[in-house]
Amino acid sequence: MLLASPSLISRIDSFATESLGIPAVTLMSRAGEAVARAARELVNKNGRIHIFAGKGNNGGDGYGAACLLMNDYDVTVYDVFSSGQRSPEGKHFLDLFTSSGGKIIPLLSDDLLKECTDECDLIIDAVFGTGFIGELPEIATKLIGLFNSLTDTPKLAIDVPLGISAYDGSLIGDVQYHADVTVVLGFIKHGLVSYPAREYVGNIKYDNIGLHNTAIISNFSLSDHYTDYELASSLVPVRCENSSKGSFGKLLLITGSSMYPGAAHLSLEAALRAGAGYVTYLGEKPLCDSLILKLPEAIYKPLSITDISPCELERILTLSDSHTAILVGSGSSRSAGLYSLVYRLLTTEGAPLILDADAINVLSDHPDEGRALIRHSKRRVILTPHPLELSRISGIPTELIQANRLNVARSFAGENNCILVLKGAGTIVTDGKTTFINSTGSSALAKAGSGDVLAGFLASLIASGASPLEASALAVYVHGLAADRLSAEYSKLGVIPSDLPREIARQVARLIKNQ
């Protein structure tokens, strides 16, 4: 599903009106219809609906919905700023509402503010639109506190709940409106599906209000995506039947250690189930001996990288030349040998290089130098950090990363010429120009080993020839989808990372059927 920033949506609205001849009042009417449909799902007929309208187009959408709901419900619109409507379209629906007998009450006092939610069956937030920036006015902050105190009353927001940024998912002010449903209009906005704001959005009800037509898509740069089932289906590589194992690339996997043998098992099984024609595993001999009993399909090269000699390092580099992707770092343990290997891979030409976990951590011991190595690498570099690992390599505190995940991820990827997979709720995949925000996954994945599975799966997709950026987005989506499906059976508590590789394969099969 396409994502668009509020500023881009403003330009699209103008284009739709001026170039395509779609009247602005028609767009607002469609928005009102979408809000009214969502409201009817939340409250029974004759229920009391209180709409809190600002003076911009978001308020106008609220008045448009009020006109459609007033015949079946007891509807009251509260004019939050006592300013009516500033746009002709908004004034049109305000006048239509009042001329039909609708009730509009200006919020002129704190006493009225306390009374406005009494005996209410549904609250609709139509105060600010997606373009709002700056500090919330005092009355908006008071409203948020009042709304959130009504725990038994359903709450709906139009396009964006009060107190969150639709631009990047950051929080505005100290309090945020907890919507049960957000009716999203035109295009999904980045901030509505990005954390920390995502937890305040509730269930998204999306309506394109007629803006997803060929003329608009072709005239605007819409390169960002909310990865959903339809998009993921389109990203699954198509395999020609007239092919052989040589048709689907070779993955070199350098993961695991005596300290973390499970990382080797998890990353290797995931890689084998993701389609690469050959998977070569390079690691300590005891690990190879253990892995071959469970996963005989791989090619094994026993070699320790902990205290690697210059001669052995050259052997690995020569081996890597015949592979189409390389994964390093999952459970590898930090060592001088690992740093030497990562350094040489980054400074030589060759296949895409996926750096996970300890491969990122060893670069973080000297973060300025580590970032420079990534930035100037002759390979396509894909990093798969969780927030703490990104903090180590970037120098940005973890709490700031989590508060501004989208902006931090884009900036880091763009500045360092890499693809970044910032793991966590709403995992972000970006190269700084194009961004995918993931829609699947849950706390079921918050367990050691989940990331090893993701890294192996992702690396194998890239090895088989898929675009590194799109392969990363697909891997993140299917990884989360597998966890969601397993959670339905085992609960979020009961899913373990070793459940994931087979379930990932099942979900890929379903996506292929949907192509």
φ, ψ for residue 362, nearest 5 deg: -70, -30
- Work out the mean pLDDT of the chain and round it to a whole number: 95
Tens of pLDDT, residues 96-140: 999 999 999 998 777 777 777 778 999 999 999 998 988 999 999
**For position 161, what pLDDT does the model report?**
97
Report d(CA 426, CA 438) in Å as an integer: 5
**For position 213, what pLDDT does the model report?**
75
Report d(CA 188, CA 80) in Å as an integer: 26
Residues 348 and 413 reside in one and the same domain: yes
**For position 449, what pLDDT does the model report?**
97
pLDDT band, residue 493 (cuts 50/70/90): very high
Q: Model-level pTM? A: 0.93
Percent of the chain with pLDDT over 90: 90
Is the N-terminal amide bond of 261 cis, ω within 30° of 0? no
**For position 112, what pLDDT does the model report?**
77
Instruction: Show the tokens assigned to 233.
Output: 């289906």
CB distance 406 to 195 below 8 Å: no
- Residues β-bridged to residue 158: 183
Residues 317 and 363 reside in one and the same domain: yes
Domain boundary among 170, 197, 222: 222
420 in any annotated domain: yes
Can you list the positions of beta strands (E) in 366-491?
Answer: 381-384, 419-422, 428-430, 435-438
pLDDT band, residue 3 (cuts 50/70/90): very high
Residues 150 and 87 reside in one and the same domain: yes
Residues 376 and 447 reside in one and the same domain: yes
Tens of pLDDT, residues 16-33: 999 999 999 999 999 999
Report d(CA 349, CA 338) in Å as an integer: 18
52 in any annotated domain: yes
Instruction: Show the tokens assigned to 225.
Output: 């995506």
Instruction: Show the tokens assigned to 294.
Output: 């469970």
Average pLDDT of 344-371?
Answer: 97
Residues 217 and 236 reside in one and the same domain: no
**By residue range, what is the domain housing residue 158?**
2-222
Q: Write the DSSP string, 17-49.
A: HHTS---HHHHHHHHHHHHHHHHHHHS-TT-EE
Domain boundary among 222, 256, 271: 222
**For position 216, what pLDDT does the model report?**
87
Report d(CA 255, CA 470) in Å as an integer: 23
Beta-sheet pairing, 74-79 with 48-53: parallel
CB atoms within 10 A of CB 265: 25
Average pLDDT of 280-285?
Answer: 97
253 in any annotated domain: yes
Tens of pLDDT, residues 252-261: 999 999 999 9
**For position 390, what pLDDT does the model report?**
98
Instruction: Show the tokens assigned to 354.
Output: 């996926």
Residues 101 and 171 reside in one and the same domain: yes
- Domain count along the chain: 2
227 in any annotated domain: no
Closest CA relative to residue 180, chosen from 330, 41, 58, 288: 41
Residues 459 and 317 reside in one and the same domain: yes
Instruction: Show the tokens assigned to 78.
Output: 């509260």
164 in any annotated domain: yes
Residues 18 and 104 reside in one and the same domain: yes
**For position 514, what pLDDT does the model report?**
84
Residues 308 and 210 reside in one and the same domain: no
Domain boundary among 164, 194, 222: 222
Report d(CA 391, CA 364) in Å as an integer: 9
Average pLDDT of 407-427?
Answer: 97
Whose structure tokens read 């008071």?
A: 142
Write a three-state SS string for 349-368: CCCCEEEECHHHHHHHCCHH
487 in any annotated domain: yes
- Residues β-bridged to residue 126: 53
Residues 92 and 170 reside in one and the same domain: yes
Residue 119 belongs to domain with CATH number:
3.40.50.10260
Residues 87 and 217 reside in one and the same domain: yes
268 in any annotated domain: yes
* Alpha helices (runs of H) in 303-357, residue ranges in sequence order: 310-320, 336-346
Residues 207 and 253 reside in one and the same domain: no
Residue 459 belongs to domain with CATH number:
3.40.1190.20
429 in any annotated domain: yes
Least confident of 51-55, 145-149, 201-205, 407-411: 145-149
